[in-house]
Amino acid sequence: MEMNKKSKKLKEFDSVSMMREIRDSINLETKDMTFEELRKYIDSKLTKKSRLIGQ
C-alpha cells in the first residue's frame, strides 16, 4: 500500500518497537550471566507453559 510522503498511517500496534523493548529487557536480565546461567534461563523460558509476552 503506497502512501504519499505527507500522510503517514498511525499504527495501533508497532511490532518492531515491541520486539526492541522485549530484546532490551532480555539483554538487561542476562547481561552478566555465564554461558551455563544463560542456558538455564533460556531453557526455563522455553519450558514455561504461559506466554512470554506481557509478563
Give Cα 51 distance to the centre of its chain. 12
Q: Which residue has the cell 522455553?
A: 46
Note the pLDDT of residue 51.
60
Contact, 10 vs 17, CB < 8 A? no
Mean pLDDT of 35-52: 84
pLDDT exceeding 70 applies to what percent of the chain?
Answer: 76
* Closest-CA residue to 53 (of 43, 45, 36): 45
* Higher-scoring residue by pLDDT: 7, 32: 32
Mean pLDDT of 33-44: 94
The x, y and z cell numbers of residue 53, run together, are 509476552
Note the pLDDT of residue 24.
96
**pLDDT over 60 (residue 42):** yes
* Closest-CA residue to 52 (of 39, 41, 37): 41
